[in-house]
């Protein structure tokens, strides 16, 4: 056996460097969009009336996690005849914290509401959370909001909870 000695040396022209410290930085997405299905506890016992469609879009306004926020809800209010209360609201979404990869946002928005010929206003407030699906720009997450519409047809105060999927 032959041993070849190896000498490791540091010269003045190659200073020792340590690996960069691992830092966890949060980069808020510029745009957040999603759509999904929500459960409407305020609907009658009919299963078809208990599910609402929800779509949302948010555009980052500041580096502190503040977004211009738009949400669309289509909430079935009666089946015979079929009526749907539609709410389109614009407002603000704010990322309040991140825990274990979940970004948690509070939302508040207001806008027009209609059902058939009846028109009025609606407001919504609540929260949502997003979590990346793998290393992609896709996400999935729950949302829970209170929705109030001035349009009659039993739409009053409603608690809407659902699951959204989208991208950023």
Q: What is the pLDDT of residue 118?
A: 85
| 143 inside domain | yes
pLDDT tens, residue by residue, 38-67: 776 655 556 566 778 899 999 999 878 999
Q: What percent of the chain is modeled with pLDDT above 90?
A: 39
pLDDT tens, residue by residue, 114-165: 988 888 999 999 999 999 999 888 999 999 988 888 886 555 677 788 889 9
| 149 inside domain | yes
| 26 inside domain | no
SS3 letters for 9-49?
Answer: CCCCCCCCCCCCCCCCCCCCCCEEEEEEEEEECCCCCCHHH
Whole-prediction pTM: 0.74
| 8 inside domain | no
Q: What is the pLDDT of residue 157?
A: 75
- Quote the number of domains for the chain: 1
d(CA 38, CA 49): 11
| 150 inside domain | yes
| 4 inside domain | no
Q: What is the pLDDT of residue 52?
A: 80
Residue 78 has pLDDT above 50, yes or no: yes
- Counting DSSP H helices and E strands in the chain, the numbers are 0, 8
Structural domain for 124, as ranges: 31-167
DSSP class of 62 = S
DSSP three-state, residue 50:
helix
Q: What is the pLDDT of residue 61?
A: 94
Q: CATH number of the domain that 135 lies in? A: 2.40.160.20
| 162 inside domain | yes
| 5 inside domain | no
């Amino acid at each position: 056996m032959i041993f070849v000695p190896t000498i490791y040396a540091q010269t003045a022209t190659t200073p020792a460097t340590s690996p960069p410290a691992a830092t966890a930085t949060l980069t808020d997405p510029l745009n957040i969009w999603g759509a999904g299905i929500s459960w409407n506890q305020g609907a009658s016992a009919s299963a078809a009336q208990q599910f609402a469609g929800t779509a949302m879009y948010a555009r980052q306004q500041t580096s502190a996690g503040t977004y211009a926020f738009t949400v669309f809800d289509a909430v079935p209010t009666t089946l015979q005849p079929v009526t749907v209360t539609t709410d389109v609201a614009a407002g603000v979404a704010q990322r309040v914290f991140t825990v274990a990869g979940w970004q948690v946002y509070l939302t508040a928005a207001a806008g027009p509401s209609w059902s058939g010929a009846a028109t009025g206003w609606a407001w919504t407030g609540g929260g949502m959370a997003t979590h990346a699906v793998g290393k992609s720009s896709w996400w999935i997450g729950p949302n829970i909001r209170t929705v109030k519409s001035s349009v009659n047809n039993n739409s009053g105060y409603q608690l809407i909870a659902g699951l959204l999927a989208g991208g950023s």
